[in-house]
A and B are shown apart, each in its own frame.
Chain A
Amino acid sequence: DGGITQSPKYLFRKEGQNVTLSCEQNLNHDAMYWYRQDPGQGLRLIYYSQIVNDFQKGDIAEGYSVSREKKESFPLTVTSAQKNPTAFYLCASSTAGDIYSNQPQHFGDGTRLSIL
């Protein structure tokens, strides 16, 4: 069954700790994305990656880091520099889009991060 797997579903972190959220896809998609959702706000882009070993900052990248060593995996690290990390984090993927062929994104079920 093809899809996107985010783990864990719930994550707790002590202040000052880094934490890594996992995102794996078996859809053979080139592009992967991380979003954050806060109550009353739309999804906001943290980082995206169009190809392996390359990634770009989104609108709210401060306090986050990513890596893209494999096509299937795009882990997100929430660092201690992120001042308000409590949120719902969504990972998405899509086939590589170009100006002739936009593609929708497929989402995982999310990870809810809470600060203890």
Chain B
Amino acid sequence: DQQVKQNSPSLSVQEGRISILNCDYTNSMFDYFLWYKKYPAEGPTFLISISSIKDKNEDGRFTVFLNKSAKHLSLHIVPSQPGDSAVYFCAASDATGNQFYFGTGTSLTVIP
């Protein structure tokens, strides 16, 4: 049973606009959330994270929002750039940090 879900397999956005990638989770014990970016033929690279004590974390063009009551997080990329085109995975873990659960990924295409 998928505990972390990314319901949009793909997303296309014009360069300069905002990209919003969504992620839902089912386990209320999750308290640490991450976004990874993956280019073809490479492993995922860590992008940004948020702990459950926050509802927003910002790093340059990337902002992650967490809505614990809705068990939902999102990644905002503003402004989107062609180099952002990749597959984005969200992941979650509980307080132990021993296991991470990943979504199925969303393929983002930023159109020049």
| Chain A interface residues toward B at CB < 8 A | 4, 6, 33, 35, 40-45, 48, 50, 56, 58-59, 90, 92, 94, 97-99, 102-110
- Cβ–Cβ contact B43 & A103, under 8 A: no
| Chain B interface residues toward A at CB < 8 A | 2, 4, 6, 9, 32, 34, 36, 41-46, 49, 51, 89, 91, 93, 95-105
**Count of chain A to chain B residue pairs whose CB atoms are closer than 8 Å in the complex:** 67
Which chain B residues border A99 with CB–CB below 8 Å?
95-97
- Cβ–Cβ contact B102 & A98, under 8 A: no
Which chain A residues border B95 with CB–CB below 8 Å?
99
- Cβ–Cβ contact B46 & A106, under 8 A: yes
Which chain B residues border A104 with CB–CB below 8 Å?
34, 46, 49
- Cβ–Cβ contact B99 & A48, under 8 A: yes
- Cβ–Cβ contact B43 & A108, under 8 A: yes
Which chain B residues border A107 with CB–CB below 8 Å?
36, 43-45
- Cβ–Cβ contact B100 & A42, under 8 A: no
- Cβ–Cβ contact A102 & B98, under 8 A: no
- With A90-B43, A102-B93 known as contacts, the answer to whether A41 contacts B98 (CB < 8 A) is no
